[in-house]
Structure 1
């Protein structure tokens, strides 16, 4: 793997000086033979050695790692803002997403990409939606054919029809990445959350902290033909103990890995997901997970929807996450092996 060094400058409205970057890319592999699954990973880091926490950013369902790099109006996303703050950042494309190739024999059938109506419902609710009035974090047009809406919709793509297969592949990918680069903070968005739950449960020694931004939920959610969150927050086994075909909602699971991982759930005020996230937090706490619920409006940041990671004011939401990480993440002296 060859690293490229280049200067990057902050957006014009920011006064920070230029930051020298190192950047590169590589692949991680899971499975073998006919089930071998390659996943693409891009990384960026400050040009000098840093003691800041390494961060892995896991995108949501039907999206790709570009969700973290740039907002719909071209401002720097969470990834470059984290690098500017001194953090090495890894950006995987989840299996069969982005630059990670689709292999029918591995990924199975795909669900069609989100329609324009789906994108609007999730990220830019129109005037007839009760979330619309308070959703000031999306200040751009909300209809197809307008630049910011089309830029967001263009990044959507198909994803595996089987929820369980997708979660298994996502979790395997993230574990393989962490085993390569060493301990890191994992930040997930939306349907990328199961990868984080699985990785922290399997390899808590490699997850310095876990932040789930508006995670897929509520627990045991039924997604129709795609399957169900049969194990609470995932569609694949997560419990320490032997299971039947699924977890019993009446009995908290044993989650020893997650229970040793500092965890936060981040919720926006205008996404309509507050009750779902409350249920996810309650489920995790019942299993002994030390999860903190960061409700942005309670912390002085309001007007955000489900796409809070790339809306206007996304840097204020990131500042809340970074403050929480500074107080809670487990720091390690292990180097980031992928930076070469």
Structure 2
């Protein structure tokens, strides 16, 4: 059951819980000191050696339209990139793409500029790019669930030209997409051409991803996870299963907020707070409908959503508290409306989290695909500095 409370200026007030960088004020000052004064614009790629492999998957009996016999489902394609001069960093980066996307997101931007993969390769990191199970180069078995694909209007509204739709309070602030974000613009056409089908069953897609990414960590060992959007909960699930292998998580606007959908759709979601599947709480949660009582915090601002948090005393996410987390939100994304709820939930559950609110540190105009936008390499410098600071 939810009981109402009033949220009064919470996002504007300093938060009491300290993260890896210290207090809220200390972390904001630190992030500001790491923002480059100019926005680099480069079109080159960093030389790297490339290999690939698959992890996860299981054999099942073919049904429906497939020929009789056994097939494999749930496997995940992994592309490994190693700097040509050799890796100089102690832990690799595992990139986890969001909904309707593939690992190509990170290679370069839709307008041909240098992407985050090359940026981090140039700083000595080994990089793993992934196609979610049942997507891209991770084969799809037609009888194993159903799929959907995003249409042009959806992509424009929520990703490339939200300022033309104004579907949430911050949407008009979007200025960083390269191009006008509409069909016929070469950058939009390139981006939209990469939209790919997605499994519609939330439990199935989450199970497949958590299993596959867990298998990846079992193969490669310790790593830093960089998750985006839909893949955010998969990162929490993998880290809950292998907390000693996760050195840090950079969560780029992870799917949220806790317990419900906001903006794109409405209704209950993520019954374990951050995830669809169980997480390790202390005291234990067996049935979240009874073991995880919640309270609705009512916002007094039209620019912020209500939040659902745990009723006190809050249960602790003991595995997810073992490593540092960077929760990152942009100025103009639909996540700007509610991601502070995710932050509050993480802090309440004992996670060690820093909050990078891009406009607060002087990086403005970005939306949900900030790592592809005009200032993507300005942002990557701040993220890389955080990894260097907190990962031991």
Query: Normalised by the size of structure 1, how large is the TM-score?
Result: 0.86
Taking the TM superposition and a 5 Å limit, the aligned residue runs for 1:8-23 are 14=42, 19-23=46-50
Tell me the residue number matched to 1:235.
276
CA distance in 2, matches of 1:133, 1:46: 39
Structure 1 residues 148 and 244, CA gap change in structure 2 (3 angstroms): same
Structure 1 residues 206 and 148, CA gap change in structure 2 (3 angstroms): same
Structure with more strand by fraction:
2
RMSD between superposed Cα atoms in Å = 2.3
CA deviation digits over 1:252-308, x for unaligned, max 9?
343211110110111001113224210011111111101111111122211111110
Q: Which has the higher contact order (CA 8 A, sep 6+)?
A: 2
1:20 CA drift (Å): 3.6
Alignment partner of 2:116 out of 55, 71, 78: 78
Query: Does the 8 A contact of 1:208 with 1:262 survive in 2?
Result: yes
Taking the TM superposition and a 5 Å limit, the aligned residue runs for 1:60-209 are 60-106=98-144, 108-110=145-147, 112-124=148-160, 125-129=162-166, 131=170, 133-209=172-248
Query: Does the 8 A contact of 1:30 with 1:176 survive in 2?
Result: no
Query: Does the 8 A contact of 1:161 with 1:226 survive in 2?
Result: no
Tell me the residue number matched to 1:5.
none
Structure 1, unmatched stretches of 5+, are: 1-11, 331-340
CA deviation digits over 1:203-238, x for unaligned, max 9?
111111001001111111248799721111111111
Structure 1 residues 231 and 74, CA gap change in structure 2 (3 angstroms): same
Alignment partner of 1:28 is 2:55: yes
Alignment partner of 1:320 is 2:320: no
CA distance in 1, matches of 2:267, 2:338: 19
CA distance in 2, matches of 1:60, 1:74: 20
Structure 1 residues 19 and 73, CA gap change in structure 2 (3 angstroms): closer
CA deviation digits over 1:66-86, x for unaligned, max 9?
111121101121111111111
Tell me the residue number matched to 1:338.
none
CA distance in 2, matches of 1:312, 1:263: 25
Aligned residues: 316
CA distance in 1, matches of 2:57, 2:43: 42
Structure 1 residues 262 and 239, CA gap change in structure 2 (3 angstroms): same
Structure 1 residues 143 and 83, CA gap change in structure 2 (3 angstroms): same
Query: Does the 8 A contact of 1:163 with 1:226 survive in 2?
Result: no
1:15 CA drift (Å): 10
Alignment partner of 1:244 is 2:287: yes
CA distance in 2, matches of 1:62, 1:31: 23
CA distance in 2, matches of 1:73, 1:291: 33
